[in-house]
Amino acid sequence: MTEVEIDGRHLRLSNLDKVFWPATGFTKGQMIEYYRRIAGLLLPHLRGRPLTLKRYPDGVDAEFFYEKQCPSHRPPWVATCPIARRGTTGKPIDYCLVDDLASLVWVANLASIELHPLLAFCDHVDHPTMVVFDLDPGPPADLVDCCQVGLWVRQVLSELELQPFPKTSGSKGLQLYVPLNTPHTYADTKPFARAIARRLAEQHPDRVVERMDKSLRAGKVLIDWSQNDVSKTTVCAYSLRARERPTVSAPVAWQEVERALGDGDPRPLQLEAPEVIERVQRLGDLFAPVRRLRQELPQVA
């Protein structure tokens, strides 16, 4: 057990030498250190948003569980957000709010490798601040195919005078975020995302699918529009992922997406924790506009 003090908060960190990524030897302590170093960029994307934890107590190769209810043994300085359960009169779920570095380190010490916030803030849970397109390749399609589909999505959105921002999923796909930061509900965003997905599936039926049936996905990229829902979460920018290697859901530039497609090589987009730390020192937060840019959704058929 290691005791640390962060901004006047006292924490006890456990099992820091425990290997969480066996393929690389990346430890729990290294995971916590990554989150400490990336916090300046990560926290603005988490602050005020109810958070679902995805915990891996014995590392990425072992069992995991999702946790919406913030643990009862949390320190008193970890804020929570009560949200009513949909379709029931049961007790509200108290989600964790990770608004500061001490709370982030506390959550990481719970072995929450992945951080999954809502698309809305605690005080306006029915009003998403963004639209998300999750591009998921069905083998043998891969991340390069997602780059092509992502560029098609960008073109359609550009025609609608909307600007999207890409990040890797940290797994096998690509995610596009369309910042809104204007009054919208999921009744606006979900049909909009589905209409865009359907349009591209009709234009590129051999490459794109918008229906969720797994039998339809082989060799195609699913444009998953269903994430735009009050009950869904999407992995946060700069969150680690529980994959074979300590990859990160990392914001990237459109030029990098274009280069990966042109070269037919996904590897430059498969970013791991040390690379992301080095990148942000050079590039800053490529996802900063997602928090600030104000856009209005148009009507689409």
Q: What is the mean pLDDT of residues 254-258?
A: 98
Q: How confident is the model at residue 243 (pLDDT cuts 50, 70, 90)?
A: very high
Closest listed residue to residue 227, CA positions, set 140, 117, 150:
117
Q: Which two tokens stand for residue 212?
A: 């969720």
**Is 0.85 topped by the overall pTM?**
yes
Mean pLDDT along residues 236-251: 98
pLDDT tens by residue, 93-144: 999 999 999 999 999 999 999 999 999 999 999 999 999 999 999 999 999 9
Residue with tokens 């969720």: 212
Three-state DSSP state, 156 = helix
DSSP string, 186-231: HHHHHHHHHHHHHHHHHH-TTTEE-S--GGG-TTSEEEE-TT-STT
The whole-number pLDDT of residue 301 equals 60
**Which is more confidently placed, 1 or 52?**
52
Letter for the amino acid at 258? E
Task: Decide the pairing of beta strands 174-179 and 93-96.
Answer: unpaired
* Cβ atoms of 238 and 247 closer than 8 Å: no
pLDDT in tens, 258-297: 999 999 999 999 999 999 999 999 999 999 999 999 999 9
Where do we find the tokens 């596009």?
Answer: 176
162, 242 contact by CB (below 8 A): no
Location of structure tokens 């003090």: 5
Judge whether residue 214 has pLDDT over 70. yes
CA distance 118 to 230: 8
Q: If we measure between CA atoms, which residue out of 177, 236, 176 comes closest to residue 54?
A: 236
- Beta partners for residue 11, in sequence order: 4
Average pLDDT in the chain:
96
Phi, psi of 65 (to 5 degrees): -150, 150
* Residue type at position 284: G
- Return the pLDDT at 216: 82
